[in-house]
């Protein structure tokens, strides 16, 4: 179903009939869910800490029935998948696979407006490779939360944080061993310090390897320039940019897959 499809009823009498039918449907769901939960609780009480294989199978079947009921309700347009309202016109949210009321749908549109995100959501490096696929960990950490979030996942979306991976905005094809000078892309009009969770106050990882040594390119680019600059060279410093490598401040032991 197309994202943003609206089911709307204008006639007041028809709206009342619709809302009553929705309420009835929700009551049936709750009743059936409650019956299944009582059966689950009964098995758990009688079995205490020693579940037989038969009881385990029963619990799995009952839990699946509850999940199936929830899926039916979620796709029924009877309630908003976000706020649980049941008297409103509904909009299909393809990203969540749910019906949302108009208010929740519009509120999310404001949240995901790329103009409110890093670099106004303008992609700088279309074909960049997500660094966690090679590193096995994320060099950006919670900085990701400042980047664009979409109602439908795309190749840019981080499957851990649900925002665009910063690599498509920040990366540069240079490393500490490069002889070329970094170049600021004219598509890039924002800086790292504007990111939520920007940190240049304390080091989180003292012995992590600089990502450019593994990747052969820098996942941060010139935007790392806002990180703390030391008077003396030290292991945290970058040999290309005049600042500490952001990896020591922002890396997370997370990755896609």
What pLDDT does 61 receive?
Answer: 94
With a cut of 60, say whether residue 124 has pLDDT above it. yes
Domain map of the chain by residue range? 6-111, 115-257
Q: What contacts 255, CB < 8 A, 6 or more positions away?
A: 132, 133, 135, 136, 137, 138, 160
Window from 17-31, 40-54, 100-114 with minimum mean pLDDT:
40-54
Mean pLDDT of 82-88: 90
172: Cα within 13 Å, side-chain hemisphere? 19
- Would you state the structure tokens that stand for residue 62, as one six-digit string? 């009952």
Average pLDDT, the chain: 88
CA distance 173 to 188: 15
pLDDT surpassing 60 at residue 126: yes
- Unique residue bearing structure tokens 């790392």: 224
Residue with tokens 């935007």: 223
| Interacting residues of 229 by C-beta distance below 8 A, sequence separation 6+ | 242, 243, 244
| Range of weakest confidence among 113-117, 165-169, 203-207, 240-244 | 240-244
pLDDT at 243 over 70: yes
User: For residues 109-146, b (16+ Cβ closer than 10 Å) or e, as one string?
Assistant: eeebebeebbbebbebbeebebbbeebebbbbbbbbbb
pLDDT exceeds cutoff 70 at 225: no
Q: How does pLDDT run across 91-111, given as a tens digit for each residue?
A: 999 888 899 999 999 998 888
pLDDT at residue 230 greater than cutoff 90: no
For residue 223, what are the contacts with CB-CB under 8 A and spacing of at least 6?
A: 170, 188, 190, 191, 192
């Amino acid at each position: 179903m197309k994202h943003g499809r609206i089911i709307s009823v204008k006639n007041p009498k028809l709206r009342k009939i619709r809302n009553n039918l929705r309420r009835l449907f929700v009551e049936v769901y709750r009743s059936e869910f409650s019956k299944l939960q009582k059966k689950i609780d009964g098995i758990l009480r009688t079995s205490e800490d020693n579940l037989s294989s038969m009881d385990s199978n029963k619990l799995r079947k009952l839990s699946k029935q509850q999940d199936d009921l929830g899926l039916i309700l979620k796709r029924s347009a009877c309630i908003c998948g976000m706020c649980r309202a049941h008297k409103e016109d509904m909009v299909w949210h393809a990203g969540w696979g749910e019906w949302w009321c108009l208010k929740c749908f519009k509120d999310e549109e404001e949240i995901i407006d790329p103009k409110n995100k890093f670099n106004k959501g303008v992609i700088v490096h279309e074909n960049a490779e997500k660094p966690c696929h090679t590193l096995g960990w994320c060099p950006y950490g919670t900085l990701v939360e400042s980047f664009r979030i979409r109602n439908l996942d795309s190749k840019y979306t981080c499957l851990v944080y649900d925002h665009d991976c910063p690599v498509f905005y920040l990366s540069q094809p240079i490393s500490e061993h490069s002889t070329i000078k970094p170049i600021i892309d004219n598509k890039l009009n924002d800086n790292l310090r504007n990111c939520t969770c920007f940190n240049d106050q304390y080091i989180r990882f003292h012995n992590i390897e600089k990502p450019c040594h593994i990747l052969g390119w820098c996942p941060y680019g010139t935007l790392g320039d806002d990180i703390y600059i030391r008077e003396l060279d030290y292991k945290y410093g970058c040999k290309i940019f005049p600042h500490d490598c952001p990896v020591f401040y922002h890396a997370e032991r997370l990755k896609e897959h």
